[in-house]
């Protein structure tokens, strides 16, 4: 047996590839295996999560001998893109060495920077484990850290590792996770809750969805460890209803974990109890704001409330509540396995570890990217992403990169050498955000981009506070004037004034960050706004604009 190479086909079964027809492809592969017989019968065909290059799905990885997708000296992995069900027999034949494979253009090079520069930490199990099988997850080591900490570590020791890791919240704001965990744990005795924020709503962001669809058990393990560390016995995962596959797989994973005694009473033989439930959002973007999310879990209207008190002090039903994003909680098992110091050795001084980005827009390679913090935007966009298709030049046809969705900003091409970390992006008037990276080509109109995001904020404002409810509407109308090139310089002044007011006085993060797309495009592409002013005589000459851009 040892002489026969073991073959495994990993078929991406996450939303991106499914929308490209991966289900039919997998069925065709199974049928082809039965039909071919012989050597093909020994081939394992398993559904896995995201294989990263979402833009060219459906993707299938072929592992020889080594398996697990990790290339060993004895094994190798090939990756095929854009497969059709008709190509299934050819793929199987090629895998077993009995015939020609699919077209060479469909065979991806695993040494391409898109794959080679990635550092999977959060996505370690994505594309490797079968998201619908707890046995496969257990075989890949999931829940091992939970069992270990329950047996060997005190909650303080767990929190200590998280503090040492330097992990910061991946939901966008970057609050130090260890500090938040301590704040919850050190509240006066009483019930506590742990909540996972999976209400990923930024346009262009699909990191959390991919994690939920690809490796839900790792998230559950991370949540269970967090609950143990802060003393919570009840937790909720708040997922948006727009992620049906993620909800389905998460619910299945929770059932499986309960069945294996990894959730519920006396987990893994310890005295630790934890009940985890899924709460499904109803389509409001603002419910990703933590206080609105908590209100929504309690069955109330999803509107934010002023902080303080912060949820760590008074959250669900006024009890201390730990609320973390999917990516944050999913990094926990690896941090405990490798140690906080190991995690802290990745990344930059102020931003440790890795960050998952959802790369999309005018870029050749669209998909999920996990890179160490401090990687430059240029590496992400041009080396990994391949730049704008068909464009050349120093900046690869990139005009700007939008980070942080409607709360973030546009970073111009000349600043592409900025390292990706919380502080650097904030200094540029954008923000890390949840990880959506939208690349914009040279034909993009910046006032239009700003209006697009402002309209998003208009639609998604909860309507509670006046700067956000009425201010965003006025901002969108003002931006209409620039897009339609009927603005005046007075409009430009009013636009800036109102942006400042809405940002400074809104109740929650949605309103406070809503002007960011306008402010950042004003900062770097002011000439486009000035060019849209009605009377050309009133506009500043172009060279003055450029000078201003440099000095600002």
Partner 1 sequence: MSVHTLTVDGIEVAVPEGASLLDAVRAAGVELPTLCHLDGLTPVGACRLCLVEMESSGHLQPACATAAGEGMAVLTQTPQLQHYRRMAVELFFAEGNHVCAFCVANGNCELQDVAVAVGMDHSRFPYQYPHRRVDASHPQFAIDHHRCILCTRCVRVCDEIEGAHVWDVANRGGECSIIAGLDQPWGEVQACTSCGKCVDVCPTGAIFRKDDTTAEKQANRERPQLLRSAREQHQWQNQ
Under a CB-based contact definition with an 8 Å cutoff, are residues 396 and 388 in contact? yes
Comparison of 205 and 287: residue with beta carbon closer to partner 1:
287
Nearest-10 crossing angle of helices 88-95, 22-36 = 60
Kindly tell me which of 300 and 548 has the beta carbon lying closer to partner 1: 300
**How many helices, marked H, and strands, marked E, lie in the chain?**
24, 14
Closest approach of partner 1 to the CB of residue 303, in Å: 8
Contact status: 507 vs partner 1 (CB under 8 A): yes
Contact between 505 and partner 1 per CB under 8 A: yes
- Contact segment (CB under 8 A) with partner 1 among 70-78, 133-141, 322-330, 495-503 equals 495-503
Is residue 187 a contact point for partner 1 (CB under 8 A)?
no
* DSSP per residue, 203-227: TT--HHHHHHHH-HHHHHHHHHHHH
Helix, strand, coil tally for the chain in percent (to 5): 45, 15, 40
Q: How many residues bind partner 1 (CB under 8 A)?
A: 31
- The pair of three-digit structure tokens given for residue 518, joined into one six-digit string: 């306008």
Round to whole Å and give the CA distance between 154 and 229. 8
Tokens, residue 126:
């994505």
Is residue 366 involved in binding partner 1 (CB under 8 A)?
Answer: no
Q: Is 504 in the site for partner 1 (CB under 8 A)?
A: yes
**Cβ 258 to partner 1, closest distance in Å?**
36
Residue burial 339-369, b: 16+ Cβ < 10 Å; e: rest: ebebbbebbbeebbbbbbbbbbbbbbbbbbb
Among 188, 189, 190, 306, binds partner 1 (CB under 8 A): 306
What residues from 415 to 474 belong to the interface with partner 1 (CB under 8 A)? 458-467, 469-474
Task: For CA atoms 302, 303, 304, 306, give the dihedral sign.
Answer: negative
Q: Minimum Å distance from CB 305 to partner 1? A: 7
**Residue 305 in contact with partner 1, rule: CB under 8 A:** yes
Q: How far is CA 498 from CA 286, 458, 482, in A?
A: 21, 14, 15
- The site string for partner 1 over 285-304 (x = CB under 8 A, - otherwise) reads -x--------------x---
Distance of CA 166 to the CA centre of its chain: 19
Binding to partner 1 by residue 361, rule CB under 8 A? Answer: no
Q: Which two tokens stand for residue 525?
A: 């592409």
Decide if residue 534 touches partner 1 (CB under 8 A): no
Q: Residue 405 gets which letter from DSSP?
A: G
Measured from the CB atom, is 228 or 238 closer to partner 1? 238
Give phi and psi for 87, each to the nearest 5: -85, 0
Instruction: At 10, list the tokens.
Output: 């990993």
Residue 524 beta carbon to partner 1: minimum distance, rounded to whole angstroms? 25
Residues 6+ apart with CB under 8 A from 458: 472, 473, 476
Least separation in angstroms between residue 121's CB and partner 1 is 34
- Kindly state whether residue 486 participates in binding partner 1, applying the rule CB under 8 A: no
User: Does the protein bind partner 1 through residue 514 (CB under 8 A)?
Assistant: no
CB-wise, 156 or 497, nearer to partner 1?
497
- Cα separation of 419 and 376, whole Å? 4
Assess 506 for contact with partner 1 (CB under 8 A): yes
Residue 327 contacts partner 1 per CB under 8 A? no
Contacting positions for partner 1 (CB under 8 A): 284, 286, 301, 305-306, 308, 458-467, 469-474, 477, 494, 497-498, 501, 504-507
């Amino acid at each position: 047996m040892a002489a026969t190479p073991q073959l495994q086909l990993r078929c991406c079964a996450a939303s991106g590839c499914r929308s490209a027809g991966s289900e039919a492809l997998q069925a065709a592969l199974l049928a082809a295996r039965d039909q071919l017989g012989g050597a093909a019968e020994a081939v394992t065909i398993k559904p896995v999560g995201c294989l990263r290059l979402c833009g060219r799905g459906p993707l299938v990885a072929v592992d020889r001998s080594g398996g697990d997708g990790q290339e060993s000296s004895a094994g190798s992995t090939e990756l095929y893109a854009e497969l059709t069900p008709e190509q299934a027999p050819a793929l199987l034949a090629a895998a077993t060495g009995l015939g020609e494979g699919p077209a060479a253009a469909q065979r991806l090079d695993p040494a391409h920077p898109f794959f080679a520069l990635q550092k999977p930490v959060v996505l370690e199990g994505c594309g490797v484990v079968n998201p619908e099988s707890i046995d496969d997850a257990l075989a890949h080591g999931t829940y091992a850290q939970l069992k270990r900490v329950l047996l060997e570590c005190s909650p303080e020791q767990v929190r200590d590792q998280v503090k040492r890791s330097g992990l910061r919240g991946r939901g966008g704001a970057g609050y130090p996770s260890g500090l938040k965990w301590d704040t919850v744990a050190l509240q006066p005795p009483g019930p506590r809750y742990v909540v996972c924020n999976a209400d990923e709503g930024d346009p262009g962001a699909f990191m959390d969805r991919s994690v939920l669809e690809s490796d839900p058990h790792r998230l559950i393990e991370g949540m269970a460890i967090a609950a143990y560390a802060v003393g919570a016995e009840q937790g909720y995962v708040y997922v948006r209803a727009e992620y049906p596959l993620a909800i389905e797989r998460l619910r299945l994973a929770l059932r499986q974990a309960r069945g294996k005694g990894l959730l519920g009473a006396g987990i893994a033989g310890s005295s630790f109890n934890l009940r985890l439930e899924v709460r499904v959002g109803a389509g409001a973007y603002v419910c990703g704001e933590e206080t609105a999310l908590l209100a929504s879990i309690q069955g109330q209207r999803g509107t934010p409330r002023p902080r303080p008190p912060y949820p760590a002090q008074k959250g669900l039903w006024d009890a201390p509540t730990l609320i973390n994003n999917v990516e944050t909680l999913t990094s926990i098992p690896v941090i405990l396995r490798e140690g906080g110091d190991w995690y802290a050795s990745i990344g930059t001084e102020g931003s440790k570890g890795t960050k998952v980005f959802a790369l999309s827009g005018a870029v050749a390679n669209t998909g999920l990217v996990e890179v160490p913090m401090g990687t430059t935007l240029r590496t992400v966009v041009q080396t990994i992403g391949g730049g704008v298709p068909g464009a050349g030049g120093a900046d690869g046809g990139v005009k700007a990169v939008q980070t942080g969705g409607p709360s973030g900003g546009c970073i111009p091409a000349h600043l592409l050498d900025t390292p990706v970390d919380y502080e650097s992006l904030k200094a540029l008037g954008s923000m890390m955000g949840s990880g959506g990276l939208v690349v914009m080509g040279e034909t993009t109109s910046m006032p239009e981009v700003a209006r697009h995001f402002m309209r998003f904020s208009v639609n998604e404002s909860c309507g509670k506070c006046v700067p956000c409810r009425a201010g965003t509407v006025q901002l969108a109308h003002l931006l209409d004037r620039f897009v339609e090139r009927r603005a005046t310089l007075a409009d430009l002044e009013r636009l800036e004034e109102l942006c400042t007011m809405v940002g400074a006085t809104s109740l929650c993060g949605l309103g406070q960050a809503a002007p960011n797309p306008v402010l950042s495009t004003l900062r770097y592409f002011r000439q486009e706004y000035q060019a849209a002013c009605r009377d050309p005589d009133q506009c500043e000459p172009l060279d003055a604009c450029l000078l201003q851009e440099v000095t600002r």
